[in-house]
Amino acid sequence: MKQWTTLFVFLFLSLSLSAQQGYGRDIFVSSKGDSLPYRMIHPESVKPGEKYPIVLFLHGAGERGNDNEKQLTHGGQMFLNPVNQEKYPAFVLIPQCPTDGYWAYTERPKSFIPAEMPVGQEISPILQTLKQLLDSYLVMPEVDTQRVYIIGLSMGAMGTYDLVIRYPEIFAAAIPICGIVNPSRLSAAKDVKFRIFHGDADDVVPVKGSREAYKALKAAGADVEYIEFPGCNHGSWNPAFNYPGFMDWLFKQKKKR
């Protein structure tokens, strides 16, 4: 048993190190002087005159910190897969939320009941900095501003909802995984295409969060799909990343101007 445990730890560390080595490391400083560590990859070959999509990936609460590494734990390796890099060349940004931060809010919401989630709050300072980081890439001539995508896990899914609600004109598609938002806000994001994932046995963020989000988006006329995993607890990002066509669906989306 000890040998298997040792092997598992070795493989996990090897994959984590591989992901870290494939991503550039940087720190973005906002106009207000706030800093945000992030990792990023470019398309393997940027051809003159061509434009490439950009993916913003928001991690969950467990990967907060200032090491500029933990945010690659879930999903980071997916974008380094050589087949994916060849088939879906893209810019990928994976920022890291500070330990005492919470992407969309100034603190962890007191209730995870959809109707009791915050409404009308100002954008959080962290998301303000994150938006400036994203903007710094959107002005690059190599970036296709019609193919801007966002993926978020748990706390990152809450940030995903918040950003697309505030800036629906930017994003072509969003994938919130095991997230939650006040459904009354979602009509503002009706022109963004959504694919929502959640496990029905989630005991951290209730599955009702995604069910209510799906119903609100559907009622608003949005192009939305909801995939629920029976018996799956909070780690629904694992089956989501392996869901058939996960990458195909994301990279075929394009913003209508």
Supply the pLDDT for residue 11.
Answer: 38
Listed by start position, the domains of the chain span 24-252
Tell me which residue of 121, 99, 109, 127 sits closest to 209, measured CA to CA.
109
Q: What is the pTM of this model?
A: 0.91
Neighbours of 132 (CB within 10 A): 16
On the CB side of 105, how many CA atoms lie within 13 Å of its CA? Answer: 18
Closest by CA position to 113, among listed 198, 180, 166, 22: 180
Report mean pLDDT in 10-residue bins for the chain, 257 residues. 41 42 91 96 90 98 96 95 95 97 95 96 96 98 97 98 98 98 98 98 98 98 98 98 98 90
Residue 40 phi, psi (nearest 5): -155, 155
| CATH architecture entry for 24-252 | 3-Layer(aba) Sandwich (3.40)
Longest Cα separation, the chain = 57
pLDDT reported for residue 107: 93
For residue 44, the tally of other CB atoms under 10 A from its CB is 9
Closest CA to 224 of 186, 181, 251, 180: 186
Main-chain dihedrals φ then ψ at residue 94, nearest 5 degrees? -130, 90
